[in-house]
Structure 1
Amino acid sequence: MSVDFSAEIPALRATLTSIEKVTDMDALKKRIAVLEEQAAAPDLWDDPESAQKVTSQMSHAQAEFRRINDLESRIDDLEIMVELAEEENDSDARHEAEKELASIRKTLEELEVRTLLSGEYDERSAVITIRAGAGGVDAADFAEILMRMYLRWAEHRGYPTKVMDTSYAEEAGLKSVTFEVDAPYAYGTLSVEGGTHRLVRISPFDNQGRRQTSFAAVEVIPLIESTDSIEIPENELKVDVFRSSGPGGQSVNTTDSAVRMTHIPTGIVVSMQDEKSQIQNRAAALRVMQSRLLLVKKQEEDAKRKELAGDVKASWGDQMRSYVLNPYQMVKDLRTEYSEGNPQSVFDGEIDGFLEAGIRWRVGQGTSED
């Protein structure tokens, strides 16, 4: 079917104009100027953590500005490509124009989804915790598969990641893992992944080759920043120290540097063993604890608002996505109805379709953060 460029190109321009308006390009330009000024300060690297944050924010803001800005010239170039192809009746040139049209449309769709992330914490980096659920060793293996899926997704996009805590299962896989995805809007984008994930497959751990259903829970929270006002009284925290352990329970650290922090009133527990010293692990554990309490506080506020509005039904089902490898191959999101027929590519980090559908679904449900 022939592409109608005379309708498609104006539609691209209209979408771009809408994105530029929502993004507020002038404000983004001013923010880049401020960050460039901070990055040029001679004492910037006196505080390496702060310096890293400034340079990271600056490069992400510059990349976002370029990405939007470059689209205008890409659409102009596309228009010229189409004119030349039609003048010369060149089918190869027209085919190239169609490919470029699809590429521009995909970039615009991604940017359009970004404009839907307007929640209070959507701009933050994300902390993801995956826990093996029902299903024994298959569930532990599934938890590790999901961790790899999210890390690969971040890797494809050039987002830095950091595994903060790992609890290995005895036979294979993971009991739980916590890791950070450090990028603007990582929380807003990945927050739709929170919930129960289900895997159906012929178990590689069953010598009779039976089909096994297993579950893993994914929790996504925004990373707390030092400017956030979540104060936790010392008497509400219980801190235990222990030795870091690797697969099979082997000790990977000869000192008691790992930290387990418990918030006594809520029972929330955070373990941290990635950093080299007990002080660093304690500081990292406190940040994640503050992030979890921030989310709990917000969920309580949301529940109260829903109760006042007379809406007490849960927004998220117990099971939000199924990964079926047998008797057929399909990954399907049960909230959005979005599906993919190639589970392996999904496990390799190709989850943008699910993320975009999830964000649009959430906005449609009116459950986006206000």
Structure 2
Amino acid sequence: MDTDFPAEIAALRATFEQIEAVSDPERLRARVEDLEQQASAPDLWDDQDNAQAVTQQLSVANGELERLASFRSRIDDLEVLVEMAVEGDDADTLAEADAELVKLRTDLSAMEVRTLMTGEWDERNAVVTIRSGAGGDDATDFAEMLLRMYLRWAERHGYATKVLDTSYAEGAGIKSATFEINAPYAFGILSVEAGTHRLARISPFGSADKRQTSFAAVEVIPLIESTDHVEVPETDIKVDVFRSSGPGGQSVNTTDSAVRITHLPSGIVVSMQDEKSQIQNRAAAMRVLQSRLLLLKKEEEAAQKKELAGDIKASWGDQMRSYFLYGQQLVKDLRTGHEVGNPQIVFDGDLDGFIDAGIRWRRQQQAQSAQ
């Protein structure tokens, strides 16, 4: 075994201490104490939305503290394991220590990425919308592949998901789908997935051996919270109700419970058909509409600042990744250069490498812009 354990463990400790300093355990403990006081209030559940927000924030803060304490303990345990192996001249225990070192490096990298998410809404839950673009049946099929990919990614991490709306294509796949991911930093993590995704493959829908290029757009927005207070006057919206539909256009219920809200000033359209009642679907659609309007407002402010600064570079989210399912078999991120030579594992939800690279790339771009 050629591993220099003392040097490796020292490097782990140094990086971890930097992460711990950014995470600020004292601040987290103070936040936990404050949230615990709020959670113990006898009238907490009189306002269910606020109660859920408080309990979720408490869970996140406790989770961060536990993650930091657990990692420090794992480094200590590794050091003891190495000492035991060296003293006993035990090759098997050294091999076990080497394997744990690899795991610690991987987990430390993930923790380091978390510290890079300092945006205003990075801690929020995320609402993701996938829309098929140019490419006919291949594009709608690709959109459904992306939906499955993100849901599988969430499943791998144990994140709760809820599909809010699906518009099925007449042929294969979907025209669009909107789903919610409830997890700490879901928006901060998935926001780097926003943009145009491109698929190149031999089309299963056209003539034999014909290569087809198709596109799908991914939109990621932070989920609105009750404290955000985005006012949407009734005169600014048009509400349509219709019957929920499934693949092939068949009706999936017998009442007009699905809701489509059009925001007239911006042209934003939100459809919702997941809930059982029209009232529930309208409330869910309004929440997503408010989230989009909140993000639109911030984007307009950012665009104005860029214009004043003379920055005319395209958004980092455009044309961000290509999936090649013929010949070379490759998935490549066009911003970061990160690539994987096995597209199937990516479509099965193995996205962490792309997401981590995207978050680091975004931070690098932000740092350059600030100079």
TM-score range, shorter chain: over 0.9
Shift of 1:156: 1.2
Contact map agreement 1:362 1:368 (CA 8 A) in 2: no
Q: Which residue of 2 aligns with 1:341?
A: 341
State the alpha-carbon separation in 1 of the partners of residues 19 and 317 from structure 2: 32
State the alpha-carbon separation in 2 of the partners of residues 93 and 33 from structure 1: 41
Where in structure 2 are the equivalents of 1:63-102 lying within 5 Å? 63-102=63-102
Structure 1: which amino acid aligns with 2:328?
Y
State the alpha-carbon separation in 2 of the partners of residues 50 and 331 from structure 1: 42
Contact map agreement 2:49 2:226 (CA 8 A) in 1: no
Contact map agreement 1:200 1:323 (CA 8 A) in 2: yes
State the alpha-carbon separation in 1 of the partners of residues 124 and 369 from structure 2: 13
Where in structure 2 are the equivalents of 1:124-143 lying within 5 Å? 124-143=124-143
State the alpha-carbon separation in 2 of the partners of residues 367 and 131 from structure 1: 31
Q: Which residue of 1 aligns with 2:167?
A: 167
Contact map agreement 2:193 2:317 (CA 8 A) in 1: no
Where in structure 2 are the equivalents of 1:88-237 lying within 5 Å? 88-237=88-237
Q: Which residue of 2 aligns with 1:271?
A: 271
Which moved further from structure 2: 45-54 or 119-128? 45-54
Q: Which whole-Å deviations, capped at 9, do the CAs of 1:340-364 have from their partners, x for residues lacking one?
A: 1111111111101101100110111
Secondary structure of 2:55's counterpart equals helix
Q: Which whole-Å deviations, capped at 9, do the CAs of 1:5-52 have from their partners, x for residues lacking one?
A: 121111111111111111111221222233344444555555554444
Q: Which whole-Å deviations, capped at 9, do the CAs of 1:47-104 have from their partners, x for residues lacking one?
A: 5544444433333332222111111111111111112222222222111111111111
Q: Which residue of 1 aligns with 2:28?
A: 28
Structure 2: which amino acid aligns with 1:208?
A
Unaligned runs of 5+ in 2: none
- Deviating runs (4+, > 6 A) in structure 1? 367-370
Where in structure 2 are the equivalents of 1:241-252 lying within 5 Å? 241-252=241-252
Change (3 A) 1:367 1:177: farther
Q: Which residue of 2 aligns with 1:16?
A: 16
Shift of 1:315: 2.8
Contact map agreement 1:258 1:273 (CA 8 A) in 2: yes
Q: Which whole-Å deviations, capped at 9, do the CAs of 1:321-357 have from their partners, x for residues lacking one?
A: 0111101111100000001111111111110110110
Contact map agreement 2:262 2:268 (CA 8 A) in 1: yes
Q: Which whole-Å deviations, capped at 9, do the CAs of 1:125-157 have from their partners, x for residues lacking one?
A: 100000001111111111111111111111111
Which moved further from structure 2: 110-119 or 200-209? 200-209
State the alpha-carbon separation in 2 of the partners of residues 363 and 133 from structure 1: 29
Contact map agreement 1:154 1:161 (CA 8 A) in 2: yes
Q: Which residue of 1 aligns with 2:354?
A: 354
Unaligned runs of 5+ in 1: none
- The share of aligned pairs that are identical, in percent, is 67
Q: CA RMSD in A?
A: 1.9
Q: How does the TM-score come out when normalised to structure 2?
A: 0.95
State the alpha-carbon separation in 1 of the partners of residues 181 and 235 from structure 2: 31
Structure 2: which amino acid aligns with 1:75?
I
Which moved further from structure 2: 55-64 or 337-346? 55-64
Q: Which residue of 2 aligns with 1:62?
A: 62
Structure 2: which amino acid aligns with 1:234?
E
Shift of 1:203: 1.9
Contact map agreement 1:245 1:252 (CA 8 A) in 2: yes
Structure 1: which amino acid aligns with 2:270?
V
Secondary structure of 2:271's counterpart equals strand
Q: Which residue of 1 aligns with 2:3?
A: 3
State the alpha-carbon separation in 2 of the partners of residues 221 and 231 from structure 1: 18
State the alpha-carbon separation in 1 of the partners of residues 49 and 364 from structure 2: 38
Secondary structure of 2:261's counterpart equals strand
State the alpha-carbon separation in 2 of the partners of residues 166 and 254 from structure 1: 18
Secondary structure of 1:366's counterpart equals helix
State the alpha-carbon separation in 2 of the partners of residues 193 and 123 from structure 1: 16
Contact map agreement 1:118 1:369 (CA 8 A) in 2: no
Contact map agreement 1:165 1:179 (CA 8 A) in 2: yes
Contact map agreement 1:315 1:367 (CA 8 A) in 2: no
Shift of 1:367: 7.5
Shift of 1:255: 1.5
State the alpha-carbon separation in 2 of the partners of residues 329 and 105 from structure 1: 28
Structure 1: which amino acid aligns with 2:276?
K
Secondary structure of 1:327's counterpart equals coil
Structure 1: which amino acid aligns with 2:337?
E
State the alpha-carbon separation in 1 of the partners of residues 358 and 11 from structure 2: 24
Shift of 1:300: 1.0
Structure 2: which amino acid aligns with 1:13?
R
State the alpha-carbon separation in 2 of the partners of residues 160 and 50 from structure 1: 19
Change (3 A) 1:103 1:369: farther
Contact map agreement 1:120 1:369 (CA 8 A) in 2: no
Q: Which whole-Å deviations, capped at 9, do the CAs of 1:111-135 have from their partners, x for residues lacking one?
A: 1111111011111110000000111
Q: How many residues align structurally?
A: 370
Secondary structure of 2:103's counterpart equals helix
State the alpha-carbon separation in 1 of the partners of residues 229 and 121 from structure 2: 13
